[in-house]
Amino acid sequence: MPMDPRHAILFEPVTVGCKTLPNRFYQVPHASGFGSSRPRSQAAFRGMRAEGGWGGVCVEYAAISPDSDETPECSADFWDDGHAAALALTAEAIHAGGALAGLELFHGGAASVNGTSRLPRLAPSQVASELQYGGLAKELTAEDIARIQRDWAEAARRARDAGFDIVYVYGAHGYLLTQFFSPVLNRRTDGYGGSVAGRGRFWLETLATVREEVGGDCAIATRIALHGDSGVAGGGGLPGIEADEMLELIAMAADLVDLFDVTVGTWPENSGTSRYYPEGHELPWIRRVREATAKPVVATGRFSSPDLMARLVADGVIDLVGSARQGIADPFLPRKVAQGRYDEIRECTGSNICILREESFHHIGCVQNATAGEEFRRGWHPESFPAAANPEEPVLVVGAGPAGLECAVVLGRRGYTSVHLVAAEPAAGGRLSWIRGLPTLGDWGRILDYRLVQLGKLGVQVITGQRLSTADVLGYGARVVVAATGSAWRADGVQPGIPEPMPGAQAGPPFVLTPEDLCVRGLRPAGKRAVVYDTDGYFMAPALAELLAKEGYQATIVTTYPVLSPVSDQTLEGGMLRAHLHQAGVKVVYATTVTGIDPGSAVYGADRDGEPWRAACEGIVLVTQQVSRDELYLDLTRDQAALGGAGIAAVYRIGDCVAPRMISEAIFDGHRLARELGTEDPSMPLPYQREPAGLA
């Protein structure tokens, strides 16, 4: 179908200083984990977005000097010519795709870790704050200020010479410029503190210095933060700079800046998870920027709707549609809009798995797009797949959860003409079909929606409500069988460190329940006092507790961890999750192990100090450990003669059937097997390239 005429505005060129962007799609700076130390991975990752039609593509924050060293975090470095040569590969790759290349230059100040350089942190004032740990920062002298401004100008010159079109003076997210803005962190009396103009002086001077150095060759961008709901952290939990003051500063900088990249509040709010922030949640703050400047504005909001994007541009709220997470989920979104392929857009789920992966593993990934981060090392392309060598070979995928769905989609895209996807449940989706119905998790259903639409377009046959036995599979007529039968939560209370069943767990429903008992079978605790026992540490126990609380139960989560849902801190939603549950009336008991159940009356165990602990309740939901549903796979593979007699050449397993894990990893597993089917041994991943070259 053709592009909707309303979306034509998104493909208008936009002049930014001395540069012109080919359209209004702009991939803002965001971390990848690659930095400048894995230049080929960085170049392939960013180049894919340019190929996908984004008019501007930026590299993540790049430190201008060793005293802004982020180790062990995953920024880029950009204080010498070696760093510039490494990132020049990325600028070249972005240009090859027809986009402008941007580089976000920054100094972290008191927020810098300096784990490698071991230099002291620097700050406007030597004030204790949440930005610092293990010692205070050095208060910047006048000479330090002048040196940092020179470093910024020299880094901008290197960026220009490396081929970058847009250079940033990064002033958001609690880094050095934000620290100067804050009346809490900045207590100076030398003209760089006090009034709004004084606190903004360092930023304005740095902008002027960078503009003088490269303003005739590069567009000058700055990233700034308005207050937002959570505010810009000023230190010690006190408020930082307010929105009205930030607007004053924007007006002061209007002649020095070609592009304002606007964020709000703290990083967890700016990159707000879909569990607690809707698409476009920043707009009330973004709209205010027009009070201060007519210069081009780019802003993010997890925008996935072309209608909303076009409306915001037409209304003058933004000039460029900024994206980080949506561009990871679908690098080809602009081209799909231009070609009217709206039903092929992979919408971001807002689960923030991308952030967890780049922060914790220094290698970005995505629950929606299994190719994210694999562009260089595996040579994967999100829209291109190797043609099947034997396209008519019948393939049976048993199980239609995330792994099975992804496997079937990739097989269809490779040209396999006889792919059957069979689900035992009445509807495809596996566990996600009920997870999406839990409180706050609705947007995770986009994982299923996208894949089900693609299967229909590809002609893959989806069969539901058919639980296949071993005999059924042997008689099916498939040449290749993929077991994607998933996993289930244990009902016996086996948990990490305690491999034996929990005393009393054999009582079963309605006193002892599993997540499936609640969400699939519709069972509920025998009375209103319910405990959800969590050794998983992610979303399941909090979501179930909230579900029970909404239904009138007195819900208490007992967790073995010292903090509830520690994994959610890695996805930037931990603080919001805990506040949300508190508001919902859910109580939490921390660092406590449940070791037994008195059916009908109580659960018992030990607290963090080893002291006996007991709580009265009329029901417990066990979120302790999962177990693979691998019986079909094991039955099939233990009888090779039967497989041969049935004409089955190979049986593989994917996802939770191999080992229970995060949804993103199950999807990756299904994608990899399907992409590599036809190689010598698809059960083992093909070797992938590593950096630096020469490593096996």
Residue 497 lies in a domain: yes
How many Cα atoms within 13 Å fall on the side-chain side of residue 692? 3
Contacts of 276 (CB under 8 A, 6+ apart): 440, 573, 576, 577, 580
| Residue 675 one-letter amino acid | R
Helix (H, G, I), strand (E, B) or coil at 464: coil
Q: What is the tens place of the pLDDT at every residue in 101-147?
A: 999 999 999 888 888 899 999 999 998 777 666 778 999 999 999 99
Rounded to an integer, what distance in angstroms lies between the CA atom of residue 137 and that of residue 111?
Answer: 9
CATH number, position 567? 3.50.50.60
Question: Average pLDDT in the 149-174 region?
Answer: 96
Contacts of 129 (CB under 8 A, 6+ apart): 110, 184, 185, 234, 235, 236
Does residue 638 share a domain with residue 608? no
Question: Average pLDDT in the 215-219 region?
Answer: 97
Q: State the pTM of this model.
A: 0.96
Does residue 589 share a domain with residue 636? no
Closest CA to 490 of 623, 633, 599, 595: 623
Placement of tokens 């960013």 in the chain: 46
Residue 376 lies in a domain: no
- Give the confidence band of 693 by pLDDT, cuts at 50, 70, 90: low
Does residue 179 share a domain with residue 68? yes
* pLDDT surpasses 80 at 358: yes
Contacts of 609 (CB under 8 A, 6+ apart): none
Instruction: Of 235-244, 289-298, 318-327, 594-603, give the lowest mean pLDDT range.
Output: 235-244
Active site positions, annotated: 175
The one-character DSSP state at 384 is B
Placement of tokens 């549609």 in the chain: 321
Does residue 468 share a domain with residue 526? no
- Give the confidence band of 695 by pLDDT, cuts at 50, 70, 90: very low
The last residue of one of the domains, among 360, 387, 419, is: 360
Residue 558 lies in a domain: yes
Does residue 464 share a domain with residue 336? no
Question: Average pLDDT in the 330-352 region?
Answer: 98
* pLDDT surpasses 50 at 694: no
Does residue 354 share a domain with residue 419? no
Does residue 649 share a domain with residue 609? no
Helix (H, G, I), strand (E, B) or coil at 34: coil
DSSP character string of 199-267: HHHHHHHHHHHHHHHHTTTSEEEEEEEE-TTT--B-STT-B---HHHHHHHHHHHTTT-SEEEEEESSH
The last residue of one of the domains, among 627, 645, 666, is: 627
Greatest alpha-carbon pair distance for the chain in Å reads 87
Residue 280 lies in a domain: yes
Q: Report the pLDDT value the prediction gives residue 292, as an integer from 0 to 100.
A: 95
**Total domains in the fold of the chain:** 3
Contact 196, 203 (CB under 8 A): no
The last residue of one of the domains, among 592, 607, 627, is: 627
Residue 389 lies in a domain: no
Does residue 580 share a domain with residue 478? no
Percent of the chain with pLDDT over 70: 97
Rounded to an integer, what distance in angstroms lies between the CA atom of residue 324 and that of residue 27?
Answer: 6
Residue 316 lies in a domain: yes
Rounded to an integer, what distance in angstroms lies between the CA atom of residue 2 and that of residue 626?
Answer: 46
Does residue 425 share a domain with residue 324? no
HEC profile of 43-59? HHHHHHHHHCCCCEEEE
Question: Average pLDDT in the 337-341 region?
Answer: 98
- Give the confidence band of 236 by pLDDT, cuts at 50, 70, 90: very low
Q: Report the pLDDT value the prediction gives residue 239, as an integer from 0 to 100.
A: 52
Q: What is the tens place of the pLDDT at every residue in 168-204?
A: 999 888 899 999 999 989 999 999 999 999 999 999 9
Does residue 437 share a domain with residue 340? no
Q: At what angle do helices 243-253 and 196-214 cross, to 10 degrees?
A: 30
Does residue 633 share a domain with residue 617? no
Residue 682 lies in a domain: no
Residue 688 lies in a domain: no
Rounded to an integer, what distance in angstroms lies between the CA atom of residue 437 and that of residue 486?
Answer: 19
Q: What is the CA radius of gyration of the chain?
A: 27
Q: What is the tens place of the pLDDT at every residue in 372-428?
A: 999 999 999 999 999 999 999 999 999 999 999 999 999 999 999 999 999 999 999
* pLDDT surpasses 60 at 160: yes
Does residue 186 share a domain with residue 288? yes
Instruction: Of 111-115, 178-182, 352-356, 593-597, give the lowest mean pLDDT range.
Output: 111-115
Per 3-state DSSP, the chain is made up of helix, strand and coil in percentages (nearest 5) of 35, 20, 45
Contacts of 490 (CB under 8 A, 6+ apart): 514, 622, 624, 625, 626, 627
- With residue 569 as reference, give the H or E element that holds it: helix 566-570
CATH number, position 328? 3.20.20.70
Backbone angles phi, psi at 313, to 5 degrees: -70, -45
Strands 76-77 and 56-63: parallel
- Give the confidence band of 515 by pLDDT, cuts at 50, 70, 90: very high
Closest CA to 335 of 264, 383, 294: 383
Range of the domain at 409: 395-486+629-676
Placement of tokens 């043609």 in the chain: 387
- With residue 25 as reference, give the H or E element that holds it: strand 25-27
Question: Average pLDDT in the 55-69 region?
Answer: 96
Q: What is the tens place of the pLDDT at every residue in 632-686?
A: 999 999 999 999 999 999 999 999 999 999 999 999 999 999 999 999 999 999 9
Supply the mean pLDDT for the chain: 95
CATH number, position 422? 3.40.50.720
Q: Report the pLDDT value the prediction gives residue 243, as an integer from 0 to 100.
A: 86
